[in-house]
Amino acid sequence: METLAGMEGYAVYERSRRRVDGAEIALVRGPSGKSLWLSRALPGFHGDPLPNGGILCPLAPETAAALLKLLPELRPRRLPEGPSFGFGDRLGLATPGHVRAARGSRAFPVLAQQSVRENARTGRTFAEVLADAVFGALQEGYTGGFAADADHLKSIEDALEAAELGYTFFTCDPSDHVVPAEELPEKELRRRFDAIPKRAELEREYRDRTFEIKGLGRLHFSELDLARAAVKYLGAVEFAAEMYRALRERLPDGFDFELSVDETETPTSPLEHFFVVQELKKRDVELASLAPRFSGSLEKAVDYRGDLEVFRRDLRAHVAIAKALGGYRISLHSGSDKFSLYPLFAKEAEGLFHVKTAGTSYLVALEVVSRRAPELFREIYALSVERFPEDRATYHLTTDLSRVPDPSSLPDEELPKLLEEPDPRQVLHVAYGSVLRSPLGAELKKALLEFEEDYAVALEAHLGRHLEHLGVRG
């Protein structure tokens, strides 16, 4: 990084330099962190004036909004055809490394991706998530386009908030409206099905009918199959359609809409997949992707646990239905570090796939800190273990704290190895919110700014490995 002329103590990120409207713009780093430097004041930008006539603006959502008016190439875009990949960033510091990983990849990047749950745990907002992605892309001189995903939306109000900010991708999570129909006694199942206002219409369309799906074969709805699918998913379908209609009214030029049914107790069957999408199509909902609940275990931060051949069989069915009903992507959630799945997933999906990662970038940050600031890592580890029993509540995990070692007895050089073991890795992953909301969160971000290049290099390697195993990079 070179020092900015006339500004002692400030260095410029050379790849970020732009010239627009007769002014030079660049991301700079000074004694108090990063700022956006403008050689002269421009409309919409507010900050500290400089003696040479320039201005230093904070890296805040308001600054990002003004920047996007000047540099439209940094505005989030809709997904093009082909595979796509979500780079979640819980710290707001990972985008430079994500951009480096994405360069040369055939998977379109989603650089702003955060769920409402994650925002609640980190104390961030959709506006801040998008701003951090914009400034990170600027820092790396990236102009190849990216999407912004408001992930796991459970309310229409949250979806519309993200739409106002410029998000282009909306992941509807209707899990609060899914009924565990497979747990109901048959008598209760029939009672609930009979109570559905459009039961007769559903029976005409599905009951005892067979649907031919190319590449899969025949799907046949018995009376009970239909009752289970309708009772289980019809409320979720109605909620998703309501969210879609609200977004369409707010964004008439279009957007990408994903339905996530992966956070259920049982795998999504081909019949359920077919029923849900058929019902969405009747309500004029156009899907960009669908995230089914796969068999096996897709736990956070560790590789897939299950039978790969069963996964392959299920995936083939989902892909065949997706092709038959519109050509939307199959989305793999909890997609971080599922290296044994990636080649199979990419091959069977034939380019119709989306993968979401999030927590793995936070773990890469902790790995950097374990090497460069071991005492800070020990404090983060201790807090994570303390908070894990409560923080694990909303995650499907098999973590056993008895298998989590005490780091106090480990020498500094052994600390990075903790992030190679499944149990401590999951403990660190799940407790991110407790860490980031504590004083340790500010210390972690300070350390990562100090070791910024280490973090970017480590992210490029780790996320690049994901993309390579998916066959879309290298």
State the catalytic residues: 151, 258
Strands (E), 204-271: 210-213, 217-220, 256-260
HSE-CB for 233 with a 13 A CA cutoff: 29
Strands (E), 245-366: 256-260, 289-291, 329-332, 353-357
How many whole angstroms separate alpha carbon 441 and alpha carbon 274?
Answer: 44
Asked if residue 276 lies in contact with residue 264, where contact means CB atoms within 8 angstroms, the answer is no
Helix extents (H) in 255-341: 270-282, 308-324
Q: In this structure, what token pair is assigned to residue 142?
A: 């990236």
Q: Which amino acid is at 335?
A: G
How many whole angstroms separate alpha carbon 379 and alpha carbon 432?
Answer: 13
Distance of CA 184 to the CA centre of its chain: 33
Asked if residue 438 lies in contact with residue 383, where contact means CB atoms within 8 angstroms, the answer is yes
Residue 51, Cβ density class (10 Å: 0-12 exposed, 13-18 middle, ≥19 buried) = exposed
Alpha-carbon radius of gyration of the chain: 24
Residues 6+ apart with CB under 8 A from 171: 115, 149, 150, 151, 152, 153, 258, 259, 260, 291
Q: In this structure, what token pair is assigned to residue 155?
A: 């309310």
Phi, psi of 41 (to 5 degrees): -65, 140
